Structure 1
Amino acid sequence: MTCCRAMTVALPDFGGVGDGVTSNTRAFQSAVAHLAQAAPCSSGGGQLYVPPGRWLTGSFNLTSCFTLYLHRDAVILGSQDMSEWPIIDPLPSYGRGRDAPGGRYSSLILGSNLTDVAITGDNGTIDGQGAAWWSKFRSHNLRYTRGYLIELLFSDQILISNLTLVNSPSWNVHPVYSSNVIVSGISILAPVNSPNTDGINPDSCSQVRIEDCYVVSGDDCIAIKSGWDEYGIAVGMPSRQISIRRLTCISPTSATIALGSEMSGGIEDVRAEDITAVDTESGVRIKTAVGRGAYVKDIFVKGFVMKTMKWAFWMTGNYGSHADEGFDPAAIPVVSGISYSDITASNVTTAGRLEGIPGAPFTGICISNATIEVVKSKKAPWTCSDIEGATTSVTPPPCSALPDQGGAATPCPFPPERLPIDMVELKECSSLVPH
């Protein structure tokens, strides 16, 4: 995968003014449109260079075979003028906006049906200026769902790297219905009490690699999704073959990695390793409910270090929040094949809260080589219901539904073969910016 392009232009060439006050929405739109014509894929594509400055803008679309490159001292600022975030249709697999029924505001940087797109730089910044959005959301003064910082739909070959994302109105990075996605070297920062500022949310995506990222968030640091209730079931597009490695997360009220709750297209073959969580509510959290349907299966986690957590392990089959009353009460999700190994955790309130669905237990839960230092409490270190599985070398001893298999038992599995997306090499260009 490469972000090298045949043509590079700079934002000021299209009237951009980096004073933090002047709107650059038309400049971004004009620059992208110019490159789409002057540097098509057949000629090697084009790059838009954002130089030092504070570049205020509303929503703008990208094009194929395109790189958006931010200088280290460049800041893209999300406009505070809500009219610069146009209203767009709900996602097909959601049927409505997540914040409110009906449409949703555009994301700041977006695109659909694209191939070979890079959003990168020398650790430049994209600032959503989300405080006003958070205030309106909390006071129920928004008719539509908040936009995200970056959203790419129905696209292939996406690279998002070497950037700092701050203060998104809602989710930060949202690839949806897309494939071959790499998110690398990203820092995501938001106040820990900001609403729904998830870090990276692959949604109905396949072949995704998330690596070397640092996330401080008011919601889940990583949330893997695939649509909501009957809408996600109808689209039927799972998230699968996802690799997460070398992630550091801080989120006192949410999860390091969440699976769901919108998982109605299915989630499978997720591999997470070398993960660190500090002052975070839970490690890997599975969130589903009757009405979601589909499955969460073949989830592999190893090498997880947790410090100051409410729960080390948490999964639930009674997570409500339906899109509408049209969900199918017979759509029972299947959760199976969940493996955790090589886990250390300190200053933890509860080791595990594992709650399946009555009559449809979560099965194949495996935990091996896990040491969890639980703070003194009158509560039991584990609570379990409607689950089945086994453990090896776990402290404190888990509930009876997860019997210890003895020290000689085989550790929980983690696939030895690499995913195709893990073998994609990133190519650096010798000349990325105009002189």
Structure 2
Amino acid sequence: MPKRAAPKPKAAAASAEVEVKRETPKRKAADAAGHEMKRAKGETNVFDLKWHEHGEPLGKGFVPLVYLYGDTLAGSSKIAAFDMDSTLINVKSGAKFARNHEDWVWWHETVPKKLAELHSNGYRLIIFTNQAGIEKLHTKLDDIKRKCEKLIEEVNAPIYVFIATGENHFRKPATAMFDFFVENCNQNVEIDKKNSFYCGDAAGRVNNWAPGKKKDFSCADRKFANNIGLSFKTPEECFLDEAPTTKFEWGSINPREFITKLGKGNATQTYHKNSQELVILQGPPASGKSTFARRYFQPHNYAIVNRDTLQTAAKCLKAAKEALDSGKSVVIDNTNPGADTRADYIVLAKERKIPCRCFVLNTPIELCGHLNYVRVQQTVGEVRRIPDVGYNMYKKNYQAPNTSEGFSEVTFIDFVPKFDSDADEKIFHYYTES
């Protein structure tokens, strides 16, 4: 692994940027004390950049976005944006995760020189990084901040940093971090997307994309660049001038192609009945059950029973009984994978001598994975992503619904795109991590 290169400090720039001083043991101790005082005020010791937090606390109490930004710096039409880990830097110790803020080394000795060159050519340097581990390790955020600050000092150029702190709506490849930068941190200067780019290592490259090279762990960075409309570069292309590789896979559906195949939904379709009944929805997580219930049953005075809201099966059954006793029809908006999860509701309908219908959301599982991320963006993080274990449990317990269980009918509903707003349609078209 190449050693970290220490670029020579530049002369004081015309924009009055702070010159980085050469480090000696005595100065190191003095700087450390001053550094901690400035950090306590939310400031870094370079370029008047300050740490900020944005959004309501999620998960373990961390705000979804932490960012480093300087409001005294002019906006820029050209941006050079980067992932951080395995793109700008590697873990110095060789461990999977950095042990502390000093456990890093430049990805290649050319990196700081290239960054300084881009800055001198008028690019705004930006880091967009996913750091989901912050939700689990409360001390990690401070390490990441200090690492970013040291990185900036060595480059001797201002670098904005945007950190998605967990599994939230700011996490790449979602566009929220980039959108936030454009709307709040670029002094209303329009981005020249043709002359800007994003660089990252999660490029979806397949095994042996180059002789002896392993496949990338994901394609999130390539997807992020596509979603925000910037050209994409791998670290090899950006810092080593290697040719772009064509050996990659997106690793998920192309939403634009998928939606073209699906066609458009029938806006006049009706599914409700005018007499009392009980309806059971069945389908994988994020298959569209809640939207189906809200769109086609709730306007007709059906009570919606959902375990995500009520938490337990017992509370769902109780809520269904109370709604039926009040004279309402009821929709059970749960995954209901096995016959045993549906049986109590069928019995409930038989006791009241009302029909029980089943609607199966026949949404392809790969599309469910996409929708899982889409609704995180649509709800601005209020709805959390369902982890893979949720899909595994569904598959394990799945039994196809049948009229032999006691249903008056079983109807399969194919997914067709119908969006409540232009914003929802735009979000659907973005690549996701699925």
Same fold per TM (> 0.5)? no
Structure holding more strand per residue: 1
Structure holding more helix per residue: 2
Larger radius of gyration: 2
TM-score scaled to structure 2, two decimals? Answer: 0.27
TM-score scaled to structure 1, two decimals? Answer: 0.27
